[in-house]
Amino acid sequence: MIAIVKSDFNTEITSLLLQGCEEQLQSLGIEYRTFTCPGAVETVAYSKFLIDKNQFESIIVIGAIIKGDTDHYEYVCQFVTQGISQLSAQSPIPIIFGILTTQNEELAMERAALDRMNKGKEFADTAVFMVNAFSNFN
């Protein structure tokens, strides 16, 4: 089973990413469970919590960090990138970094819209690939 941790911040974007991800997993017959948290920063702690539960074969982390008028964007991007990177390096299961970091909402929507490139589908495919790759060594 795959866990999806979705940030509710920028929910219009993250909901589309989640929809694409879930649709792809369903089409592949993969079981999953979705968890939500307030923002991208919280996805790091939630992912660690789920890793420690030892119930999932992979975790897909979905979020959207969109640049604003303050430096907050830089700090959030740095925290989330470093946090997920550290978890990924230490985790016995693959962690898929599905956090969009864009300069504006239009670029985020381009990557999330179901009728465009919807990166959520890509996150699902990456998780399945990595689960299969990891299972080849067991």
Residues that are catalytic: 72
- 43 in Cβ contact with 80 (< 8 Å): yes
Helices (H), 8-71: 11-27, 40-53
Residue 35 tokens read as: 């968890």
Residue 22 tokens read as: 């879930």
